[in-house]
Amino acid sequence: MKVEFTAAQDALRKELRSYFEQLMTPELSAECDEAMGEGGGPLWREALRQMGKDGWIGVGWPKELGGRGMSPIEQFIFVEEVMRAGYPFPFLTTESVGPQLAEFGNESQKRDIVPKILAGECLIAIGYSEPGAGTDLASLKTSAVKDGDEWVINGQKMWTSLAHFCDYVWLACRTDPDAAKPHKGISMFMVPTSDPGWSCSPVVTLGGVRTNATFYDNIRVPADAMVGELNGGWKLITSQLNRERLSLVNFGPTAEMFNNVVRWAQQMEMPAGGKLIDEPWVQINLAKVRAGVEALKLVCYKQAWAMSEGTLEMADASAAKVYGSEFFIEVYRLLGEIIGQASLINRKTEGANAMASRIERLYRTASIITFGGGTNEIQRDIISAAGLWMPRATR
């Protein structure tokens, strides 16, 4: 065991940090801020293509698939640095659906879609949730019915994030309404958002983040739009969610924010003399964040390491997700307390402090991943059952 980065990993991080300093122009940053940390704008797209060209998006992917052949640890370092730079990286596409397609997709998907993902030219939204199917995802109703060589898709999805600028929806559909168990009658499809039967309407959330209700009206897709096996979608959903969970709790941005708040508090003059950072309560808040970030870093890298070894444990992945998502809320609170009033001021206010207003916004977004990506209650169920062998109630 060696819990430290290798010299090559440190060098990679350094390289990436200067790469992103170049890439993140003030114009791009401004555009990303405008998009509430979601991306989707023209400069954002251009930068994504650039990363693709420069071979970064697939840095940890096998060479056969068009990657650079490094390990998931290097991939994780890349994602951490891109997020740390403040670029809203489309990790759902690149880190979770992409690898699923590469592993389980058919020939045409591997040939046509995967290379585009690595080139930064293809974006994919995730269509699982429906108005009536949230945590109980297997109860979903959107249907796909076979008609000759095609599938006809009808239904409504809810919370289909990023769909308004994505090329495809990775869509979960019911293909066998009579399956003995609901999750055995679900299949996955790649549905193009360019289809005339596809539409979406915005749903705006507390954090300003836009998501969507998406509608599927007699959309016809060819047989090879299906991913994996007929009625074999559940396995794809759960393994996609496993991958998603790990990207959700990336620690790079938190580490950066901590560093910025420290530097800021070192400068801030107190009315009665001295600096804000001399206050014991400020130091305690910072120390709590620092100790927590360290755990987050280790939890994340242990997952990345386990992925490269092929030994990722379900309970560990769930533990990372629960810990990270709940810790973020703590971080925004603890750091917001230090910043005080300024952490309540929207960035559009004249003279607003960028760091403080970022916390204003993030504090409003932090609940999303405690229930999204598989709610923490279910993650804790998984942990007690898979990690501690505790029999659980049947559902």
Residues noted as catalytic: 244
Instruction: Find which of ligand FAD, other proteins, none residue 298 binds, CB within 5 to 8 Å per kind.
Output: other proteins
**Between 119 and 386, CB nearer to other proteins:** 386
**Between 106 and 384, CB nearer to other proteins:** 384
21 binds other proteins (CB under 8 A): no
Instruction: Find which of other proteins, ligand FAD, none residue 322 binds, CB within 5 to 8 Å per kind.
Output: other proteins
**Between 119 and 378, CB nearer to other proteins:** 378
CB of 251 to other proteins, least distance (A): 8
Alpha-carbon span 249 to 73, nearest angstrom: 15
Instruction: Find which of ligand FAD, other proteins, none residue 160 binds, CB within 5 to 8 Å per kind.
Output: ligand FAD
Alpha-carbon span 11 to 17, nearest angstrom: 10
- Contact (CB, 8 A) for 49 and 55: no
**Between 109 and 161, CB nearer to ligand FAD:** 161
**Between 219 and 319, CB nearer to other proteins:** 319
Q: How many CB atoms are closer than 10 A to CB 111?
A: 10
171 binds other proteins (CB under 8 A): no
Alpha-carbon span 370 to 247, nearest angstrom: 14
According to CB under 8 A, which one of 110, 141, 302, 347 is a site residue for other proteins? Answer: 302
- Contact (CB, 8 A) for 144 and 127: no
Q: Which residues of 326-357 are buried (b: 16+ CB within 10 A; e: fewer)?
A: bbbeebbebbbebbeebbebeeeeeeebebbb
Token pair for 293? 């970030």
- Contact (CB, 8 A) for 245 and 208: no
Which residues contact ligand FAD (rule: CB under 6 A)? 125-129, 134-135, 159-161, 205, 209, 211, 368, 371-372, 375, 377
Contacts of 21 (CB under 8 A, 6+ apart): 85
Instruction: Find which of other proteins, ligand FAD, none residue 384 binds, CB within 5 to 8 Å per kind.
Output: other proteins
Stretch that binds other proteins, among 117-125, 160-168, 179-187, 286-294 (CB under 8 A): 286-294
Instruction: Give kind and range of the element (H or E) at residue 368.
Output: helix 368-371
15 binds other proteins (CB under 8 A): no
According to CB under 8 A, which one of 169, 312, 319, 338 is a site residue for other proteins? Answer: 319
Contacts of 120 (CB under 8 A, 6+ apart): 45, 48, 49, 50, 51, 52, 53, 57
* C-alpha angle 319-320-323 in degrees, rounded to nearest 5: 80
Binding site for other proteins (CB under 8 A): 1-6, 9, 73, 255-256, 258-259, 262, 265-266, 277-278, 280, 282-284, 286-288, 290-291, 293-295, 297-299, 301-302, 304-306, 309, 315-316, 319, 322-323, 377, 379-381, 383-385, 387-393
